[in-house]
């Protein structure tokens, strides 16, 4: 009789990490990115996050402490610290979390703001054509509301480049209901990066939460035993549900942003009124044909 050795928690975690990494590695292979390039990037992320972790715990950040925490040789740690410290000795920056671009902000406002909708029978629909210039509802007015730092013409050119609008002499026509840049555009990769990063961050936060009340929203619905036709239909249902959720969330977010701004301007504003918190609310839908020939096709939802 052979004694089986149970895997350690770390080994079990790495098995789960492999599941999460598989789709990413598929994409890296398509991009022609070799393993050694990923390892270099991962090494930098490890050191940056370890640097922040030590700081949060009030620990002194040294080459030795980083080496012990990450398992990276001290010589490599020293190179990292020298290259990431400014002349003042400031701490290394974390991996950036990119905010939505002005073009994305403008697009979202266009498809959700009631001022840019028209009555269509008993329902409302997005006003798909806007005058280029003039007071609201116009593209110029929308652009100036979305960003005070970027000229409306620049935003128009960016949306046209992303194939989201058609520009006519005096009109701008919306071509899509979703801000989805062309697949080979760098903006598409950046959008994927920040969305996936925040999704994983929410899931990891929940694994470390002490009570249910501290957990963030991170749920999904799973169904199998479907025909491709049914799966595609459910994908359309998901898009419709997202449209409703997007409108409601954007509307409520605008209300809260205005309230927080007004509260922060008051002379008696408490520290809790400081506007230093960000949120991201998203949805995804994945369709995949099971590769195994013995897949259970009885159907289930969970």
Which of 51, 84, 117 lies at the terminal end of a domain, its last residue?
Answer: 84
Residue 294 resides in a domain: no
pLDDT tens-digit profile of 18-39? 999 999 999 999 889 999 999 9
pLDDT at position 69 is 94
Model's pTM, two decimal places? 0.78
DSSP the chain: --PPPPPPHHHHHHHHHHHHHHHHHHHHHHHT--HHHHHHHHHHHHHHHHHHHHHHTT----HHHHHHHH---HHHHHHHHHHH--TT-PPPPPPP-PPPPHHHHHHHHHHH-GGGEEEETTEEEE--EEESSSSSSSHHHHHHHH-SSS-HHHHHHHHHHTTSEEE-SSEEEE--SS----TTSHHHHHHHHHHHHHHHHHHHHHHH-SSGGGPPP-----EES--HHHHHHHHHHHHHHHHHHHHHHHHHHHHHHHHHHHHHTSTT--GGG-------------------TT---S-EE-
Number of folded domains in the chain? 4
Say yes or no: 211 and 233 in one domain. no
Query: Please, what are the averages of pLDDT over each run of 10 residues along the chain (302 residues)?
Result: 73 92 93 92 92 92 93 91 57 52 90 87 86 94 92 94 92 90 80 90 94 94 93 95 92 90 77 81 91 59 71
Domain holding 71, by residue range, is: 9-84
**One domain, residues 33 and 68:** yes
Query: Do 114 and 157 sit in the same domain of this protein?
Result: yes
């Amino acid at each position: 009789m052979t004694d089986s050795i149970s895997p350690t928690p770390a080994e079990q975690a790495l098995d789960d990490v492999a599941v999460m990494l598989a789709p990413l590695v598929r994409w890296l292979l398509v991009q022609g990115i070799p393993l050694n390039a990923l390892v270099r990037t991962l090494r930098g992320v490890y050191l940056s996050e370890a640097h922040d972790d030590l700081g949060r715990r009030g620990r002194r950040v040294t080459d030795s402490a980083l080496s012990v925490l990450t398992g990276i040789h001290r010589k490599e740690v020293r190179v990292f610290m020298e290259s990431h410290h400014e002349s003042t000795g400031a701490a290394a920056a974390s991996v950036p979390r990119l905010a939505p671009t002005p073009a994305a902000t403008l697009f979202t406002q266009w498809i959700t703001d009631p001022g840019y909708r028209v009555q269509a029978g008993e329902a409302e629909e997005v006003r798909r054509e806007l005058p280029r210039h003039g007071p609201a509802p116009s593209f110029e007015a929308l652009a100036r509301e979305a960003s005070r730092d970027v000229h409306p013409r620049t935003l128009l050119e960016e949306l046209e480049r992303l194939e989201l609008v058609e520009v006519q002499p005096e009109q701008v026509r919306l071509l899509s209901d979703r801000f989805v840049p062309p697949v080979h555009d760098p903006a598409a990769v950046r959008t994927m990066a920040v969305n996936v990063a925040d999704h994983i961050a929410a899931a990891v936060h929940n694994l470390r939460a002490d009570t249910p009340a501290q957990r963030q929203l991170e749920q999904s619905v799973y169904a199998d035993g479907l025909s491709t036709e049914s799966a595609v239909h459910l994908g359309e249902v998901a898009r419709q549900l997202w449209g409703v959720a997007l409108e409601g969330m954007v509307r409520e977010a605008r209300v809260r942003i205005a309230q927080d701004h007004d509260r922060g301007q008051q002379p008696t504003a408490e520290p809790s009124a400081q506007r230093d918190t960000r949120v991201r609310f998203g949805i995804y839908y994945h369709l995949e044909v099971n590769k195994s020939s013995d897949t259970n096709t009885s159907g289930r939802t969970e």
